[in-house]
Structure 1
Amino acid sequence: MESQSRIESWRAQVKQIKEAEKKKSLFTKIKPRLMRYSSFYSQLPILMAEIQPNEMSLIRKTDDTCRGIKKMLEKSFPNCEAIPFGSSVTGLALIDSDLDVYLLTNESIVDDNNSQTTIHGTEKIWTQKLIFREVKTCLYKNRNIIKNIVPIGSAITPVIKFHYIPTDTDVDITFKNSLGVHKSNLIKFCLNLDSRIKPLIMIIKFWGKELHLTGGRKITNYFVLMMIFYYLQQPDISLIPKINVLQSNCEKIIYEGWQVNFNQDYPKTTSNCNKTISQLLCGFYKFYSTFDFTSRVICPLYGTAPLRNDFLNSTLGQKYNFDFSGLTESASLHDPIKLDYVIKGWSPIRLNNFIVACKQAYEKCCQSSDNSLDMCVLLDMTLYENLVQPVHENLIHQEDI
């Protein structure tokens, strides 16, 4: 009995240690390795290796997960496909990123949300609401391989979150449309226009996560990614072209009314800018520490940020009748693919936290030369002041990426 008691006590201690490790930030774990190096460019490869999953392992895990989801749902949707998109496809996944999956049912779908499927001959007609309900039911029926199911049907893009046990993967599955897949293709292409773009984005993404600024119920990663794109479109940088320029000189492919393809022969942009990754990073913090978020609309489509009133009076604004009421203290971004959609929803506290953090990050950059910027100082949330943690967080609608 005493031996058994010791075993149980040991197991409880191991469990507590594991739970404590989960709560510890990733930066805290990798900081000792970074501290061995004093220069930005010696720390950079260490950081990239620590915060990103192994590429081949991610591909294998993604394939196995999508294959398992397809097999699980084939009884309801015999011709379905589980298509990965988002960071697992673009190469921007952090080591703990969820896997975004679009379920292409290859079934007849009608726009209305009748509570019952209808039969046309031998063909079953589905609605988006019924697909959502059917997938949710299938997940609950497979609790031997699925856990932590969280259906979010009220989001702009309805999503079901769950954990796929065989590959130990957190999954966000959507059904509404494949715009996320097309956006992922565009993002992946843009990352390859210059070798500085991806590490810059990964640093900012990890920085935002460590400071609890971005991701999940905060500022969406897609919003921040498009902010980085807009910054890199500035005339003195020009590492990413305006999206409408990238979409020219190619035969248009239209999906649900939107052009989703681009000129894949667009030339590399490396010669447009001679700034280093460190200089671009410091420039990002400076750019957004003074940016007028509450009066302007970020538009990567045209590489501009017009005043909201000017945007509303533009051809696009008049065509789609955008509504900015109630957004006097929030940020907004015009989606460069789905042109009738303005992404919004930052709370004033979240927006203020982001601006304050950008200012402090820029100050840290100014205290260092190009190669002496210390990642341990930049990424340590304990060295930032006046960041307010909201008492209540409203769920930000899931974006397509």
Structure 2
Amino acid sequence: MATRGVGLLTRLPLCAQRSRVLHPIHRLLSCPGTVATDVRREEQSFGSAETGSEDRTLKRFSEVQKERREQAQRTVLIHCPNKISEKKFLKYLSQHGPISNHFFYESIGLYAVVEFCQKESVASLQNVTRTPSMGTEAAIPFRSRFFSLKLKNPSNQISEQSHIPFSNHSPPPNKKLFKLLCDAESIDDQLNILLKEFQLTEENTRLRYLTCSLIEDVAAAYFPDCAVRPFGSSVNGFGKLGCDLDMFLDLDEIGKSDAHKTSGNFLMEFQVKNVASERIATQKILSVIGECLDHFGPGCVGVQKILNARCPLVRFSHQASGFQCDLTTNNRIALKSSELLYIYGAVDPRVRALVFTIRCWARAHSLTSSIPGAWITNFSLTMMVIFFLQRRSPPILPTLDYLKTLADAEDKCIIEGHNCTFICDLNRIKPSENAETLELLLKEFFEFFGNFSFNKNSINIRQGKEQNKPESSPLHIQNPFETSLNISKNVSQSQLQKFVDLARESAWILEQEDKDHPSSNQLWGLATLLLPSVAKSMSHTKKKKKPASERIKNLLESIRSSSTENSKNTVGKRTVSTQA
């Protein structure tokens, strides 16, 4: 095992490890009786209520969604002048009610996210806010929770503090990441460091829910009882800083009435317009919302209405938050998939660390791409990690069929004819007795899929075992809910072969770590796996002449020689020089 002494993270119990990784720093003001008063507990939605406790208190996905949604409804987004006194700023806003949480960040200018203790404070602030005069241009009046703060007398706004702390919303540059990885104590520590650096922070998560809430304000002009809900990476526990914001317009609550409130022989219904199909209805709704965002939505730019796609959507940039957004309607299966991944990521702390690592490894070697095409997607990679962990002995993760057997009546969920039932209470899922290290799991993952029979077998997390492929696609991963679908149907044979080749070579590199025990001032472990140069050496299979082991050995020797040369003037610490 490649280690540098005993790592800080590896010395801690699993619950304590989880808490160290999952707690971003944020600025907090006390506010009795709100979610924010117990933000420490809120951030530990994957862990125990008390760090190091034997008893885990894990929140249901629906509970987290409800709390975050209510939190966002009490929150405002304010574009601030660059030179502003934080103390005076908060004092001014406190006239409208107590503040429970706030933070600043930079996008195109300086922004503040401020959460009040009560929703009434937001209305109070809106009531004293005016529509700006635009001179020769005309402003479209729109009452939202996105404000601009102007200074009546800028010369009097001298900050009492030298620097307003900004919340970071970007992943670390490569140079910093490689430095952190090379200074780690073990490969297990490296995986946890990667998770800590790339996972969504508390502030970034708040900003995502707030952005959805602001879009909901726009949509509510047409559909007063609608909700705009985030799904995918923003909520499933596997999102990384900089990932897109997927959201859907939930119209299911509109027009629903409680049956027990109706009496007698009368039944009242809304007058509505009818169209030929649900797809046409979706297209019409998104077309209107897209136009509304384009013309009236503050901060919404680059609006594209992609209505003829298999899943119609509106794509736009939310300029203030910096998020690239995709808006669909009534995408409840996608939300259920997000809940399933949330559960898998919550029941064992190794899952998220391994998924983040495999995703970063794949991106470093151009196995995944932000451009649609024949590449493997992050969702497919996550399914592969889950499947691999189901195949361990003893299993680290339960199968979806097993989670279904644990479900009770309130968990039953049928969406568009698909059975999406599984246990929602995480505390009823028994933790795995498997104690394998992340280092071992990483190496075994590469070996497992480096030798997997993709030509005849499919991946199925419902049953947790290989099955005969029902179609000829190079890679077949069964959709966990829409079981007739292959989520990796887009992957080409050449891209799959590239994945297999890289998996085999990565397994070989980790095997050499056990033998070589590299000293300080050298790239090692995960840092070596993330080098893009390894991918480049693999990019043209037909041009290979040397055996894989020999090529990688030469590459490592070159890397270590270069690293040693660059580190001659550095004493006692491992350093690495790479392009950011």
CA distance in 1, matches of 2:174, 2:302: 26
Aligned equivalent of 1:387: 539
TM value normalised by structure 2: 0.54
Q: Displacement of 1:280 after TM fit?
A: 0.6
2:420 corresponding residue in structure 1: 260
Tell me if the contact between 1:242 and 1:301 (Cα under 8 Å) persists in the aligned partners.
yes
| CA gap 1:237/1:284 in 2 versus in 1, 3 angstroms | farther
- Count how many residue pairs are aligned between Structure 1 and Structure 2: 337
**Compared CA separation, residues 376 and 124, structure 1 to 2 (3 A):** same
Q: Does 1:190 align with 2:352?
A: no
Q: Distance in 2 between matches of 1:352 and 1:26?
A: 29
Aligned partners of 1:366, 1:149: CA distance in 2, in Å? 49
**1:336 equivalent in structure 2:** 480
- Pick from 369, 373, 377 the counterpart of residue 514 of structure 2: 369
Q: Which residue of 2 aligns with 1:65?
A: 211
Relative to structure 1, the CA distance from residue 53 to residue 388 in structure 2 (aligned partners, 3 Å threshold; closer, same or farther) is: farther
Decide whether aligned partners of structure 1 residues 235 and 25 sit closer, same or farther in structure 2, where only a CA change above 3 A counts.
Answer: closer
Which of the residues 226, 229, 249 maps onto 2:406? 249
Please give the residue correspondences for 1:71-86 in structure 2 after superposition, counting only pairs within 5 Å. Answer: 71-86=217-232
Native 8 Å contact 1:230 1:300 kept in 2: yes
Could you list the per-position Cα deviations for residues 12-43 of structure 1 after superposition, in whole angstroms to 9, with x for gaps in the alignment?
xxxxxxxxxxxx99434422332333532343
2:431 to 265, 269, 292: 269
Cα distance in 1 for partners of 2:229, 2:239 equals 16
Q: Deviations over 1:283-325 (max 9, x none)?
A: 11111112122322211111122122xxx4xxxxxxxxxxx35
Task: Confirm or deny: 8 A CA contact 1:282 1:362 kept in the other structure.
Answer: yes
Classify 1:220/1:93 alpha carbon distance in 2 versus 1 (closer, same or farther; 3 Å): same
Structure 2 counterpart SS, 1:171: strand
Aligned residues of 1:193 and 1:239 also touching (Cα < 8 A): no
The answer as to 2:201 corresponding to 1:51 is no
Find the counterpart in structure 1 of residue 573 from structure 2: none
How far apart in 2 are the matches of 1:301 and 1:235? 15
User: Counterpart in 1 of 2:248?
Assistant: 102
Distance 1:28-1:131 versus aligned 2 partners, 3 A rule: farther
Alpha-carbon contact 1:293-1:331 (below 8 Å) kept: yes
Residues 147 and 164, structure 1, Cα contact 8 Å, conserved in 2: yes
- The one-letter code matched in structure 2 to 1:366 is E
Greater displacement, 191-200 / 209-218? 209-218
Give CA deviations for 1:52-99 in whole Å, capped at 9, x if unaligned. Answer: 231x11221022101111012222322211111112212211111111
Correspondences of 1:215-364 after superposition (within 5 Å): 215-216=369-370, 217=372, 218-250=375-407, 251=409, 252-263=412-423, 264=425, 265-271=427-433, 273-308=434-469, 312=470, 324=471, 327=473, 330-343=474-487, 344-364=489-509
1:158–1:176 CA contact under 8 A, matched in 2:
no
Amino acid at match of 1:387: S
Name whichever of 157-166 and 190-199 sits farther off: 157-166
Shift of 1:257: 1.6
Q: 1:223 to 1:163 in 2, by over 3 A?
A: same
Q: CA deviation at 1:177?
A: 2.5
Higher relative contact order by CA 8 Å / sep ≥ 6: 1 or 2? 1
Query: Structure 2: how far apart are the matches of 1:381 and 1:361?
Result: 12
Q: Is the 8 A contact 2:188 2:437 kept in 1?
A: no
**TM-score, L = length of structure 1:** 0.77
SS in structure 2 at match of 1:161 = strand
CA distance in structure 1 between the partners assigned to 2:532 and 2:430 by the alignment: 35
Alpha carbons 1:157, 1:176 under 8 Å: kept: no
Relative to structure 1, is the Cα distance of residues 159 and 296 closer, same or farther in structure 2, using a 3 angstrom cutoff? farther
CA RMSD of the aligned region, Å?
Answer: 2.7
User: How far is the alpha carbon of 1:154 from its aligned partner?
Assistant: 4.0
Q: Which runs of 4+ in 1 moved over 6 A?
A: none
Instruction: Note closer, same or farther for the CA distance 1:289–1:153 as it changes in structure 2 (3 Å cut).
Output: farther
**Identical positions, percent:** 24
Counterpart-to-counterpart distance in 1, 2:501 and 2:416? 39
2:355 aligned to 177, 191, 201, which one? 201
Q: SS in structure 1 opposite 2:247?
A: strand
Q: Return 5+ residue gaps in structure 1 as ranges.
A: 1-23, 109-119, 313-323, 390-401
Partner amino acid, structure 2, of 1:331: L
SS of 2:457's equivalent? Answer: coil
Tell me the distance in 2 between the aligned counterparts of 1:204 and 1:362.
12
- The DSSP-based 3-state class of the residue aligned with 2:538 is coil
Is the CA contact 1:357–1:387 (under 8 Å) kept in the aligned structure 2?
Answer: no
Q: Is the 8 A contact 1:103 1:173 kept in 2?
A: yes
Structure 2 CA distance for aligned equivalents of residues 269 and 226 of structure 1: 20
Conserved in 2, the CA contact under 8 Å of 1:27 and 1:380? Answer: no
Q: Give unmatched runs, 5+ long, in structure 2.
A: 1-170, 256-268, 276-280, 519-523, 542-580
Structure with higher Rg: it is: 2
Which residues in structure 2 correspond to 1:124-203 (within 5 Å)? 124-125=273-274, 127-142=281-296, 144-203=298-357
